[in-house]
Amino acid sequence: MKRSRIGDLPMRVIYRILAVGVALVLAAVAAVVGFVSSGSSDQPGGGKTGQIAAPSAAPPSPGPPSPEPSASVSASASEQASPSESPAETAAPSPSPEGWEPAPDRSAVIAALADPRVPELPRDKRLGRLPGKAYKSKRRIEDDRSGVSLIRFGKPWKVFGASPFSTKQVLPKVKGIAHRAMLVSSPVPILVQRKAKDTALLAARWTLNHHPKGSRIGWVASQPIKDGWLLAYRVKYKIKKKARSSMAAVAVVEAPGAKPAMLFVTIPDTQGRRWRDINTAVSSLRLK
């Protein structure tokens, strides 16, 4: 009768059986570990542990990120990147250092022409030679604020306190006349129009603030000049119920990178022998 007990087997056979069993167990363990490792690395965001700088505060999700964190990051990135990501806005220069731009319509001009003190502009007409002796001078005044330069007259003219203008020259006061002759320059103090002629019209109306109360304009000349427009006019008013007048002119020119510049000169009839200085002044206006 044959025996089947393990103790009856030779020792070498038992060792072989044990070796085969251990090998099978090790192979099974290795297969399980490999499957688990492969599965974790195939998931979105999966990777080696050594590549993660810090653990997430919440368990990682294999799907796409939630909307709230994404929106927050996008808003933050947009705020930081917007200055550099919109070069058209940052690189585009402003109309001017003072932030001006031409008016979109002629409503201001229509209102000015409705003013009984301001008649309709005449057809283009050049300024003729006014009474008086021509004054010559090589000296000039630089108006950095307006971007222009103009003649600096000698005596009897003198440089005076410019405010509210940029530059100012005056003639001596005439006894009994509050209004005095002056030559000034500054950026135009009114709403800039698309046409230099319209801007000059508004500027001329504005100069009535520097003439006696009740003054009215009578046009003498209206002509284009280099980079702008010139208007010359007689300002009529009364002083102690006596009719008086001043000869005046306004020139506006486009100054590069700045609001248009204005030259304004007015001389009362009591100093009519100096009216020729108006010709000299307007012809001396130059862009810097």
Q: Which of 125, 165, 170, 171 is nearest to 148 (CA)?
A: 165
* Count: domains in the chain: 2
Same-domain check for residues 132 and 246: yes
Is residue 208 one of the residues assigned to a domain? yes
Domain span at residue 247 reads: 107-287
- The answer to whether residue 87 sits within a structural domain is no
pLDDT digits (tens, 9 = 90+) for 226-271: 999 999 999 999 998 999 999 999 999 998 777 999 999 999 999 9
- Give the length of the chain: 288
Q: For 121-271, where are the E strands, in sequence order?
A: 140-143, 148-151, 158-159, 167-170, 182-187, 216-225, 228-239, 242-253, 261-268
What are the distances in angstroms from CA 141 to CA 93, 190, 244?
A: 29, 23, 31
Last residue of a domain, one of 48, 71, 94: 71
Give the 3-state secondary structure of residue 273: helix
Q: According to the model, what pLDDT value does residue 21 have?
A: 60
Q: Per-residue pLDDT tens for 105-134?
A: 899 999 999 999 999 999 999 999 999 999
Let me know whether 63 and 119 are in one domain: no
Give the helix ranges, DSSP H, for the chain.
Answer: 11-41, 67-85, 87-91, 107-113, 196-206, 276-284
